[in-house]
């Protein structure tokens, strides 16, 4: 047989890494679409709404507004090509405004900044820019919620040991564990959605910090840009970036959860545990050791999940001690950390969705470990309590029985406890992990009724989260359509 040198067949592994994860984790990150284009996309969207409002209020002539709107729309259609390479000694916005003045003349191009500052413009663009990455993260998290619930139902009776202090503790099921993670994840999604509610207020109209004497209509621009209302106070509008801190705080807490789940999956997929097995397209090989199957994607989860925590610390550090007004430290340096934090959190979530969806469960090994670890010991003590033995005495008696079995002085817990008169026969002792799980229907245990209730609650949360996300995205789409119609009405063109 001819040896293969294909990167997808290492001998030990027969398939390549999942294509999505390969692009995400292994391929070089060549420069993507220039960030300045994304910034100009947000700026010009705000400009379209601002000019429409100025024309509707009679602050600028409709003919001048139409020329401005047509020029801005043309720039957007040309992907801002005419701006590329222009000198920007005072920033991108003024380079862009300078182009409009050169093209349209000062009498028209110079109208764009009427009743506005870069301060309220930047604060507004930040909120618009956060919409898509935050919505994408929430969408991926909802998918993770559903994967956890679906796999939780599938493995609802796959008995395994729960661990405390890295030692086998009591019997649960793998499905029970996954549904527990879904419950925790629901709270993290709720926190992100609550933080994202801050995106509904529009800073535009606040000017540099003290509003403007020009009779603008801040509610109209807010409506055209997909906001619910303007920020009522001009100082708060340009000074505050607590929205970023709340998003980062929620993402950082989410990262703690994702990292803990990844740690469990890493441990359980080791040869020593042997409870889970990741498919070949979710593991890597070693360049030197032919036998290796490395679940390295889970290590990426742990690393990526920490990005938001670092971003929160950096952002909060940049903000603290600054005056409560417009500030580069607050508005630029602090907020710059949020983009990578959201991107890394989204990628960590994407990896976990694939891992949990593709992992094979070794149900027999799980149940064997639950029984070999004598995880039924607590349930045995509780049965003795029902028979009239005080719990602390029952605890001692079962502990003694465990020690005798481990020392080889007895064959089973039932044998010891029957000999000591607590049960009529060894077979009366509830020492089977599956039997214990089925009976644990109280206190949120893995029993069938308890588990079904937890699944129902978690599924309701996921449904509610999807509804809130849909409300967000629908309002943004509706605003885009309103803005297009308003621009078309003034320019006399068809809405795009």
Give the list of residues 6+ apart from residue 174 with CB closer than 8 angstroms, or none. 155, 158, 160, 275, 361, 363, 366
Establish whether 286 is a catalytic residue: yes
Q: Please state whether beta strands 201-202 and 167-173 pair in parallel, antiparallel, or not at all (unpaired).
A: unpaired
Burial of 443 (0-12, 13-18, 19+ CB in 10 A): exposed
N-terminal to C-terminal alpha carbon distance within the chain: 61
Establish whether 395 is a catalytic residue: no
DSSP at 209: T
CA nearest to 338, candidates 245, 416, 207: 245
What is the phi/psi pair of residue 161, to 5°? -85, 135
Cα 297 from chain centroid?
17
Angstrom distance (rounded) from CA 12 to CA 284 = 10
Catalytic one among 194, 201, 259, 286? 286
Please, are residues 418 and 428 in contact by the beta-carbon 8 Å criterion?
Answer: yes
Helix (H) / strand (E) element for 75: namely: helix 62-77
Give the list of residues 6+ apart from residue 8 with CB closer than 8 angstroms, or none. 14, 15, 16
Give the list of residues 6+ apart from residue 176 with CB closer than 8 angstroms, or none. 152, 156, 437, 445, 446, 451
Catalytic one among 165, 213, 287, 494? 165
Sign of CA dihedral 219, 48, 202, 54: negative
Other beta carbons within 10 angstroms of residue 5's beta carbon come to 7
Angstrom distance (rounded) from CA 48 to CA 494 = 15
Residues with a catalytic annotation lie at 165, 286
């Amino acid at each position: 047989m001819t040896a293969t040198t294909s990167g997808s067949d290492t001998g030990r592994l027969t398939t390549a890494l999942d294509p999505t994860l390969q692009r995400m984790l292994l391929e070089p990150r060549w420069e993507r679409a220039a960030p300045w284009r994304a910034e100009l996309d947000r700026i010009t969207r705000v400009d379209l709404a601002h000019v429409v409002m100025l024309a509707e209020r009679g602050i600028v002539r409709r003919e001048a507004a139409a020329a401005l709107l047509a020029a801005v729309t043309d720039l957007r259609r040309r992907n801002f090509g005419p701006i590329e390479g222009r000198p920007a000694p005072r920033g991108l916005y003024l380079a862009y405004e300078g182009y409009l003045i050169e093209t349209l003349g000062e009498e028209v191009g110079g109208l764009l900044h009427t009743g506005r500052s870069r301060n309220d413009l930047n604060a507004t663009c930040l909120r618009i820019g956060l919409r898509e990455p935050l919505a994408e993260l929430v969408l991926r998290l909802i998918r993770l919620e559903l994967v956890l619930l679906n796999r939780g139902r599938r493995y609802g009776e796959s008995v395994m040991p729960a661990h405390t202090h890295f030692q086998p503790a009591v019997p649960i099921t793998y499905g029970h564990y996954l549904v527990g993670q879904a419950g925790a994840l629901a709270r993290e999604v709720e926190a992100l959605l609550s933080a994202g509610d801050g995106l509904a207020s529009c800073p535009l109209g606040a000017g540099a910090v003290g509003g403007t004497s020009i009779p603008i209509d801040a509610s109209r621009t807010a409506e055209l840009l997909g906001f619910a209302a303007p920020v009522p106070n001009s100082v708060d509008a340009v000074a505050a970036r607590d929205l970023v801190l709340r998003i980062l705080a929620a993402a950082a807490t989410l990262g703690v959860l994702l990292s803990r789940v990844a740690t469990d999956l890493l441990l359980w997929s080791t040869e020593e545990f042997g409870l889970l097995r990741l498919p070949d397209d979710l593991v890597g090989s070693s360049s030197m050791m032919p036998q290796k199957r490395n679940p390295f994607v889970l290590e990426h989860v742990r690393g990526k999940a920490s990005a938001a925590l670092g971003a929160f610390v950096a952002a909060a550090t940049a903000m603290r001690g600054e005056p409560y007004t417009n500030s580069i430290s607050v508005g630029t340096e602090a907020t710059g950390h949020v983009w990578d934090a959201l991107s890394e959190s989204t990628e960590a979530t994407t990896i976990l969705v694939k891992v949990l969806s593709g992992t094979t469960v070794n149900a027999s090994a799980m149940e064997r470990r639950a029984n070999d670890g004598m995880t039924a010991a607590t349930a045995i003590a509780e049965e003795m309590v029902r028979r009239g033995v005080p719990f602390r005495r029952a605890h001692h008696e079962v502990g003694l029985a465990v020690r005798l079995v481990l020392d080889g002085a007895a064959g089973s817990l039932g044998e010891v406890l029957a000999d000591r008169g607590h049960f009529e026969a060894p077979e009366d002792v509830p020492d089977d992990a599956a039997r214990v799980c089925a009976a644990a229907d109280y206190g949120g245990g893995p029993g069938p009724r308890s588990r079904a209730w937890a699944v129902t609650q978690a599924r309701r949360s996921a449904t509610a989260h999807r509804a809130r996300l849909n409300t967000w995205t629908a309002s943004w789409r509706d605003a885009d359509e309103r803005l297009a119609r308003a621009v078309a009405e003034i320019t006399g063109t068809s809405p795009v």
